[in-house]
Chain A
Amino acid sequence: MNPSTTSAREGAPSAPEQAAALLAVAGLDTGYGDTQVLWDVGLEVRRGEVVALVGANGAGKSTLLAAISGLVPAWAGAIRFAERDITHTGAERIVKQGLIHVPQGRRLFPGLAVEENLKLGAYTRRAGSPTALATDLERVYTLLPKLAERRAQAAGSLSGGEQQMCAIGRGLMARPALLMIDELSLGLAPNIVDTILAAIDEIHRHEGLAVLLVEQDVQIALERADRGYVIENGRIVSTGTGAELLRSTTVRAAYLGE
């Protein structure tokens, strides 16, 4: 392993780091049915941090996000978010705490209009006044003007890039503290990816949004990340700053074809 990266096999981060962590996953095992997918996974995201999770297809990236957001139950280990144990909390209750998962494949509600999809993103914020909802809608439309043009159109009729914008916008409508995005760039043109990343960066810089970016495109993810994790066959095999991982010979050999 490259000396500039540290092994994360032990899982548990050191104590001072854990105190500052917004999201802390430790010793996580999970899977589907009898098939174990993740082994002893440890990962953390601090407040306002951009963290990349990279790895090959089938390495367990999406399963890790699903376990964090409560869609897939944890078999062992612990998940903490904002100082609360959410290991066994249901997905619909985790959303209320500001941990938002934008799933792979967008998963929009195809028969509903773009604006209805966005409003469902704010579903848990019942207490919020209608004006707050309108303000947030305007914020999303300002960040992603394409969505404003398409607001009355059925989400299922959008292009791939517009659908991803809608999915991200829907995630932002929940006013997240941490946004987990699964395969943001998959199948999209580079200029669309840039537009979406710029919108996320805006919220990140001005409101301290933390981001966990899951990507097959290692370059895109590590270039923008404060820190990154490399996952292989369900185990975290390497971690470091984004720049360190990009320089790492193992990462370059395995994911950048060098």
Chain B
Amino acid sequence: MPNAQILVNWLLIGSFYAAVALGFSLVWGIMNIVNLAHGSLLILGAYVAYFAFTALHLNPFIGIILAMLALFVVGWLIQYIAINRVIRAPLLVTFMLTFGLDLLITNLAQQFFTANNRAINSSLAGVNLTLGAIVIPVQNVLAALIAVLLTAALSLFLARTRTGNAILAVGMDRDAARLMGINIARTYALTFALGAALAGAAGAMLAMTLQFQPVDAGQYTLFAFVIVALGGLGTPWGALAGGLLFGLATTLSGSIQAIGPGLQTTVAFAVLVLVLVLRPRGVLGKAFYS
């Protein structure tokens, strides 16, 4: 494979990985919840986009918006019904709760949607730009641009709006935020819903560019975890940096013949272990917004 092709593949998959981790990083940073159901929310988003395309014949990019809206609602409900009850409990309790949610969603998805591999085969799916020997899939480029756009939008929302600042304030000091008159339960619901909506967007991108099935959920939670460990639990740009770093690891290892693309999850684990041993705060990591 020519080096330029590796570069293109890296940027495309790296941006997708950023989208995978964006919502996970937000929820962890603000609420101190490691959301083990993140991957299953992502897969739900993939199904929303898939059925929007196959049943409603909607453009896959409209499917991204639909997936975000649907998952926003799902996230809000999960937060209000379940997570708000244990928000002051130790980390292990939210760990168990989101793990249970992950199993529940994955199994329901398997029950209703079967374990078949799915993918959206839109008219754009086979369209490539070719530059000499380099092949650039148009749909993946658009998905990558949307991923970067979502990162920028989230970053601007948090930094520049009243509600965004309130979310950051809650993440930094919950009691002080209450003394500003910020409603913690509502802010958490909004944060979790946004995290789920971003997972939904990543899921829709997954449906457009790769294949998926319910049991893939765990793999994407793992990816999100590694990406956040790489980029650090900081700003949305940390998720993008982590996504690109993780993309670099998987693309390079996939292009090395002795390793090959089949060992992606192994590479993910190896990278995670390396980072945790060498730089526990992440390669670019700094403490959350401080």
Contact = CB atoms under 8 A, between A and B. Distances in A.
Interface of A: 69-71, 90-93, 95-96, 100-101, 103, 107-112, 116, 119-121, 123-124, 156, 170, 174
A119 B181 contact: no
B278 interface: no
B181 A92 contact: yes
A123 B183 contact: no
B175 A103 contact: yes
23 contacts: A69-B179, A70-B178, A71-B179, A92-B178, A92-B181, A92-B182, A95-B181, A96-B181, A103-B175, A107-B179, A109-B172, A109-B177, A111-B290, A112-B289, A116-B165, A119-B162, A120-B165, A120-B166, A120-B177, A120-B180, A123-B162, A123-B181, A170-B180
- The B interface is mostly helix, strand or loop, or mixed, namely helix
Contacts of A156: 290
A174 B288 contact: no
A109 B169 contact: yes
Contacts of B180: 92, 95, 120-121, 123-124, 170, 174
Interface residues of B, number: 20
B41 interface: no
A107 B172 CA distance: 9
B176 interface: yes
Interface in B200-214: none
Contacts of B169: 109, 112, 120
A98 B66 CA distance: 42
B268 interface: no
Given A90-B178, A112-B165, 10 more contacts: A69-B179, A71-B179, A107-B173, A109-B168, A109-B177, A110-B289, A120-B177, A120-B182, A123-B180, A124-B180
A107 B168 contact: no
Given A119-B162, A120-B165, A123-B162, A103 B172 contact: no
B184 A92 contact: yes
A120 B177 CA distance: 8
A109 B182 CA distance: 13
Quick one: which of A108, A110, A116, A123 has the most chain B CB within 10 A?
A: A123
A174 B178 CA distance: 13
Contacts of B173: 107, 109
A170 to B, nearest CB: 8
Given A119-B165, A123-B162, A156-B290, A111 B183 contact: no
A109 to B, nearest CB: 5
Contacts of B168: 109, 111-112
B176 A103 contact: yes
A103 B162 contact: no
A70 B175 CA distance: 10
Contact of B181 (A110, A112, A174): A174
B229 to A, nearest CB: 20
Given A123-B162, A156-B290, A110 B172 contact: yes
B128 to A, nearest CB: 43
